[in-house]
């Protein structure tokens, strides 16, 4: 028996990086997966990987910032056990150069997306009798980082939204736990996107340079001396998703190689 056998889990932003690793890890633990993303090609790759390990899975093209899109994804579900609000965008931009569009885009995806998912999936999670919501925040939701004000604002808001909803659920005794995960530097495609307005540079050499420079900066800034992997985050997400964490709600799980320790 896997730790998530008999459970149905939905992961947003599952076409790459942390979301893909979470979906795969939960499938390996026996969960049925619904994976969603705006990236159809990447989402289909994740679907094939999960099917390849024998998992039951379906993919939805889904913009988390769109309430109607959420309603479409959830429409044919009678019950849900786990929701991982993972989809995110990070755009490096000093305040003076931050347009309202860039500010709004990060809040729309990183914060509004978590709000829509949490609100609209809550009745399905409550119906399961033991639901779990895991919101992927960041160390940038725990401390300020120069040049990432919009991202920090969105991830800090996710942290406290998580705690408030955890208390609402506890008060109502609806059986749903709500926690946040705070990754430090994790090597994913987001590194190549963040310095380029949220999309990776088209040129392969520039993408490689962006990844190399972020890897070097992460190694210096991380007490353990290197960046983490998406699987490091997936391990924490599986714990919060499954019944081993049945007494854990409203907490923040920091997985960061020691960054927040000092
Ligand atoms: N990689 C890190 O160093 C790091 C650190 C802290 C937190 N995080 C957070 O982890 C989460 C996953 O990021 P990642 O590192 O795997 O990056 P990633 O870029 O590999 O994955 C993010 C995924 O979100 C999807 N996405 C973006 N906008 C979307 C939208 N509007 N609707 C649906 N999907 C959308 C992308 O297509 C992509 O597949 C994000 O919330 C990110 O902020 C990452």
pTM of the entire predicted model: 0.98
CB of 26 within 8 A of CB of 9? yes
Q: What does the alpha-carbon distance between residue 225 and residue 63 come to, in Å, rounded to a whole number? A: 35
* Residue in 34, 88, 227, 259 to alter for ligand 1 test, most ligand atoms within 8 A of Cβ: 88
151 counts as catalytic: yes
Other beta carbons less than 10 A from residue 69's beta carbon = 18
Options 103, 151, 161, 191, the catalytic residue:
151
Q: What does the alpha-carbon distance between residue 258 and residue 12 come to, in Å, rounded to a whole number? A: 27
CB-based pocket (< 6 A), ligand 1: 12-13, 15-19, 37-39, 42, 62-65, 86-90, 109, 136, 138, 183, 185-186, 188-190, 193
Query: HSE (CB half, 13 Å, CA atoms) of 162?
Result: 31
CB of 71 within 8 A of CB of 53? no
Please report, for residues 178, 212, 219, the alpha-carbon distance to residue 84 in angstroms, rounded to integers and kept in the order given: 10, 29, 28
Q: What is the mean pLDDT of residues 120-129?
A: 98
Which residues, 6+ apart, have CB-to-CB distance to 120 below 8 Å? 67, 70, 71, 74
For residue 105, report the distance from its CA to the centre of ligand 1, in Å: 13
For the CA of 233, the closest atom of ligand 1 is 10
Three-state DSSP state, 43:
helix
pLDDT by residue (tens digit) across 5-46? 999 999 999 999 999 999 999 999 999 999 999 999 999 999
Structure tokens at 197: 């307005």
CB of 104 within 8 A of CB of 153? no
The full set of domains in the chain, from first to last, is 8-184+229-253 (3.40.50.720), 187-227 (no CATH)
Q: What is the mean pLDDT of residues 60-85?
A: 98
For residue 250, report the distance from its CA to the centre of ligand 1, in Å: 22
pLDDT tier at 1 (50, 70, 90 boundaries)?
confident
Q: Phi and psi (nearest 5°) for 151?
A: -65, -45
For residue 6, report the distance from its CA to the centre of ligand 1, in Å: 27
Task: Please report the pLDDT score of residue 186 as a whole number.
Answer: 98
């Amino acid at each position: 028996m896997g730790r998530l056998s008999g459970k149905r889990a939905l992961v947003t932003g599952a076409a790459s990086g942390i979301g893909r690793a979470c979906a795969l890890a939960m499938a390996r633990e026996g969960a049925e997966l619904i994976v969603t993303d705006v990236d159809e090609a990447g989402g289909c790759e994740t679907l094939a990987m999960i099917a390849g390990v024998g998992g039951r899975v379906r993919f939805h093209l889904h913009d988390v910032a769109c309430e109607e899109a959420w309603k479409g994804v959830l429409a044919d579900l009678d019950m849900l056990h786990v929701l991982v609000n993972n989809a995110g965008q990070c755009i490096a931009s000093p305040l003076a150069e931050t347009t309202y569009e860039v500010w709004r885009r990060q809040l729309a995806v990183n914060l509004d997306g978590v709000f829509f998912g949490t609100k609209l999936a809550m009745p399905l999670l409550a119906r399961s009798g033991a639901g779990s919501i895991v919101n992927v925040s960041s160390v940038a939701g725990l401390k300020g980082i120069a040049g990432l004000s919009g991202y920090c604002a969105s991830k800090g808001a996710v942290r406290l939204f998580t705690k408030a909803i955890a208390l609402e659920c506890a008060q109502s005794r609806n059986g749903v736990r709500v926690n946040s995960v705070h990754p430090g530097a994790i090597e994913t495609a987001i590194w190549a996107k963040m310095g380029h307005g949220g999309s990776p540079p088209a040129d392969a050499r520039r993408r490689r340079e962006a990844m190399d420079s972020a890897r070097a900066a992460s190694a210096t800034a991380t007490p353990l001396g290197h960046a983490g992997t998406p699987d490091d985050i997936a391990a924490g997400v599986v714990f919060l998703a499954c019944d081993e964490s049945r007494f854990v709600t409203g907490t923040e799980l920091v997985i960061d190689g020691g960054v927040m320790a000092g």
